[in-house]
Amino acid sequence: MTSRPASSPAPARRSLRVVAMMGLTALALTACSSTSTPQAAQDTGAGGPVEGGTLVYAEVTPINNWQTQAARFYEKSNVLNSVLDRLTYFDAEQGELVPWIASEFSANAAATEFTFTIRPGVTFSDGSPLDAEAVKLNLDALGLGIESAQIQPNVDFAGYSSAEVVGENQVKVTLPSPNANFLRATSSVTAGLVSPATLKLDAAGQSAISQISGSGPFTFESEKPDEEVVLAKRADYAWAPETAENQGDAYLDRVVIKYLPEVAHRAGAVQSGQVDLVRGLQPLDEEALTASGNQVLPAEGIDLTVNMAAVRIGSGKLADENVRRALQIGIDRQSIKDTVLSDSYELAGSVLNHQAPGFVDLSDELEYQPDEARALLDEAGWDVGADGIREKDGVKLEVTVTSSNNSVVIKPAFELIEQQWREIGVKLDNRAGDNTFLATAMPDPDVEFFGTRQFIYGGLGPIFEPADNTMTHTSDEDLNVIFAAERAAAPGPERNELLAQEQRALVVDKAYSLVLWDEVQVYGAHSDTHVEFTSGTAPVFQGAWKTGG
């Protein structure tokens, strides 16, 4: 442990801020007490944020590659979120992008030119300025990759060609073809800004959190590889996203990130007070945690698709749209929620989460209709065989699902679907949670289902469009026309109509995505912990605090 930095802010300023915060919080509490999570009202003293203290946060697995654009896993992005700032921030409450390091941003009508005005006075933790030049270097590294360091381009920046510094403090990005999703991509943790010195390091250097210099509210303090990372707050931090409640430096002095691979201990770790916040709570543990006076905090994954079984038609068994539709309505989603999920999980209404911009509610089309499903399968020529499994031309309707073990609920969910599909004469081989199988099944179009959820900073197109996409391994001409139009359309009613067409096609008409539940990461928190989350489910430690410090 290094010594704490000398307390630079004048005490007067601080106490003033605390008073102001208390007032604001009291207002907020009276104004929207009905919308706050029922478990959150643990603080008895009705006090505002408390300065100081160390928050212990337990992640699921250790990470040793902190390279920015590889931060597509929660384990990384949840930590890097506090170390790296981005040009823009997606405010979930308003449902729109708000200024962050870019105090202003705009796109031309064709969605090919994007201009960012860089906020003055921002510095990286190594002391260098976060100016237009630094932003250009970062955008180039994200869009083009860094060949000398063997770093690949960021997948959300597809089609990027160049950025140039214009005017005094502006950066202009020009894309060869329209991409209205580009701005949203700049809000992702995988587009976090690092200092020019960090960009010059080799791959191993850029992967080491000790060497990453960002402009975020916390900086690296110490590390025990595979066991813990300690972050200390930046006392001079003053450039939070425009809508953040806390506009100054973090309340907490320190965040300690530990790893708790064992799922059985997550609730107990919080209950015994050994950690203040833990990710990956099992639905089973939620009730016990709430009953013990602690909190269950579901963080909605608005930046991701819902959890789904993406359909591959390579084996031919699901080539007929009617068969896919039958399987879509052959899933009893409510029973999945009642059996393996909890109240923290909302059933999917589309391939987008309920709060995502452009969401269209298709839940009427997703009702459980086993009879209708059977009729569709009959119509498609799949007849029930002697063992109850349908067959056609001597082929049995046996299908396989693959998925990683990253979600605590995906395997039991598919176990239930296996039973439900059995009712309509379909046999599901459940390989969910088997990572070894996943490696071979992922590139195999013959494995019918891929259980997953994906970040959609580039929209749905990049996931479903390419011919070699791992979701469907199918490039659908009709869909691609809509994806292309959506990418080119500026935000507004016209684009929303295109988004609606995409969702309807993916979920209903073509049924390439058997949607299950909205992506949510369920956190367990001690009764003293106060924390909110980004639209990508990362905890916002800049605004977090602990009752009693």
Partner 1 sequence: MARYLAQRVGQALLVVWLAYTLVFLAVQLLPSDPVTIFLTVDSAVDQAAIDTMKSQYGYDQPLAVQYLHQLAGLFSGDFGYSLASGQSVRDRISGVAGSTVALAGSAFIIAVVIAVLLVAAATLTRRNAVRRVLVNLPPLFSAIPVFWLGLVLLELLSIRWGVMSLFPDGSFLSLAVPVLVLAIIVSAPVAQVLLKGMNHVYEQPFIDVLRAKGASRSWIFFRHALKNAAGPALTITGITVGTLFAGSVITETVFARSGLGSVVLQAVTTQDVPLVQGLVLLTATVFVVVNLIVDLLYPLLDPRILKSNGQGAPRALAA
Interface contacts to partner 1, rule CB under 8 A: 61-62, 64-65, 67, 72-73, 145, 150, 152-153, 155, 158, 202-204, 206-207, 224-228, 258-262, 264-265, 268-269, 271-272, 274-275, 404-406, 435-436, 438-440, 442-444, 452, 454, 462-463, 466, 468-471
- At 530, list the tokens: 């106060």
Which residue lies nearer to partner 1 by CB, 260 or 540?
260
In the bound complex, what is the minimum distance in angstroms from residue 52's beta carbon to partner 1?
Answer: 22
Instruction: Give the residue among 136, 149, 185, 144 at the shortest CA–CA distance from 161.
Output: 144
Which residue lies nearer to partner 1 by CB, 155 or 166?
155
In the bound complex, what is the minimum distance in angstroms from residue 390's beta carbon to partner 1?
Answer: 29
In the bound complex, what is the minimum distance in angstroms from residue 542's beta carbon to partner 1?
Answer: 25
Which residue lies nearer to partner 1 by CB, 149 or 360?
149
In the bound complex, what is the minimum distance in angstroms from residue 21's beta carbon to partner 1?
Answer: 32
d(CA 202, CA 31): 50
By residue count, the chain amounts to 549
Instruction: Give the residue among 533, 547, 549 at the shortest CA–CA distance from 189.
Output: 533
In the bound complex, what is the minimum distance in angstroms from residue 97's beta carbon to partner 1?
Answer: 23
The continuous run of DSSP H or E covering 487 comes out as helix 477-488
Which residue lies nearer to partner 1 by CB, 158 or 297?
158
Which residue lies nearer to partner 1 by CB, 37 or 405?
405
In the bound complex, what is the minimum distance in angstroms from residue 210's beta carbon to partner 1?
Answer: 13
Whole-angstrom CA distances from 156 to 63, 240, 483 are: 22, 23, 15
Instruction: Give the residue among 217, 91, 54 at the shortest CA–CA distance from 546.
Output: 54
Which residue lies nearer to partner 1 by CB, 292 or 363?
292
Which residue lies nearer to partner 1 by CB, 368 or 437?
437
Neighbours of 386 (CB within 10 A): 6
Reported for 386-393, long-range contacts at CB under 8 A and 24+ positions apart, including other chains, are 388/422, 388/425, 389/425, 389/426, 389/427, 390/425, 390/426
In the bound complex, what is the minimum distance in angstroms from residue 267's beta carbon to partner 1?
Answer: 9
Whole-angstrom CA distances from 539 to 28, 377, 543 are: 20, 45, 9
For the chain, state the CA radius of gyration: 24
In the bound complex, what is the minimum distance in angstroms from residue 392's beta carbon to partner 1?
Answer: 27
- At 185, list the tokens: 């991509």
Which residue lies nearer to partner 1 by CB, 25 or 162?
162
d(CA 423, CA 496): 37
d(CA 45, CA 255): 24
